Amino acid sequence: MNSRLTQIGFSQRVRLEWLERTANLVLAGNEEASIEDALQELLEDKLSVGGNAKRGNREKVITILMKIWVRPPRDLHPLQREGLKLLSHLPREDHIAVHWGMAMAVYPFWGAVAAHVGRLLRLQGTAAASQVQRRVREQYGERDTVSRAARRVLRSFVDWEVLKETSEKGIYTAGLSRTLTQVEVIAWLAEAFLHAHRGGSVALRTVLDSTSLFPFRLSPISATHLVAVSGRLDVLRHSLDQDLIMLRTESLPAAKEGEARFTVVDP
């Protein structure tokens, strides 16, 4: 099993503009060491001010930023390359979806917290930090570190403006929401989603409606269209009205432009 799925890793409050800066440094062709130096400089007066502890908050945030956009796990290199390509030509307001997807793929804990938040928002219009933390602890273990990490992810959601604080402490409502219509972005997010979840395949409608992507409204798309733009996704035809998507294994030939790969599965 992918060990990322059981690890927390994302345990700090991380601002969207820090991820944007990191990705821009990569796109500009900087070496790892110079990116790390630039991030130290960027965060010097924002985190662990006056301190240089080996595992201080600044160092932990830089580790997260570097792991997402500079040195992700090997199996996520194609996703990272494609994500950087998307950032280079998408309008700035859509960059949040790419940073969200990459954060979720590298740190599934981010997506797990988001899924609980999104589910609560969908059910009752608000999400209480205590409810989210309780559900995340049920998933990751009854540890203080789980609660603290979940709280910092929630604070990140507020920083990213996808959650809004209410007058009641620890109660959040939905913030900004973006409609995503570009098929390349939806296909890429579907791939990121699959990397963050157990199991080899998932119903396409599950991805499109996933609460772990609660800040985004994904336009309806057919499985045929999805695999036509992505060389790394395959489709299992599960029944007449349900297509399952999965990550393509390296041994399968890539689809030609506009040609979908289908495997028929008896319902």
Is there a contact between 112 and 139 (Cβ–Cβ < 8 Å)? yes
Which residues are registered as beta bridge partners of 264? 237
- CA atoms of 262 and 264, how far apart (whole Å): 6
Element (H, E) at 196: none
pTM: 0.89
Phi, psi dihedrals of residue 54, rounded to the nearest 5° = -55, -40
Res 180: pLDDT: 95
Q: Which residues of the chain have pLDDT under 50?
A: 1, 49, 251-267
Q: What does the pLDDT look like over 53-91, one tens digit per residue?
A: 556 789 999 999 999 999 999 999 999 999 999 999 999
Res 261: pLDDT: 33
Res 1: pLDDT: 45
Q: What is the largest CA-CA distance in the chain?
A: 63
Res 263: pLDDT: 29
Is there a contact between 177 and 215 (Cβ–Cβ < 8 Å)? yes
Mapped onto helix, strand or coil, the DSSP state of residue 184 is: helix
> Looking at the chain, which runs of residues are DSSP E strands?
127-128, 163-165, 171-174, 178-180, 201-203, 216-218, 233-239, 242-247, 262-264
Phi, psi dihedrals of residue 238, rounded to the nearest 5° = -85, -40
Phi-psi region of 26 (alpha: psi -120 to 50; beta: other; left: phi over 0): alpha
Tokens at residue 238, please? 């599960």
Res 231: pLDDT: 87
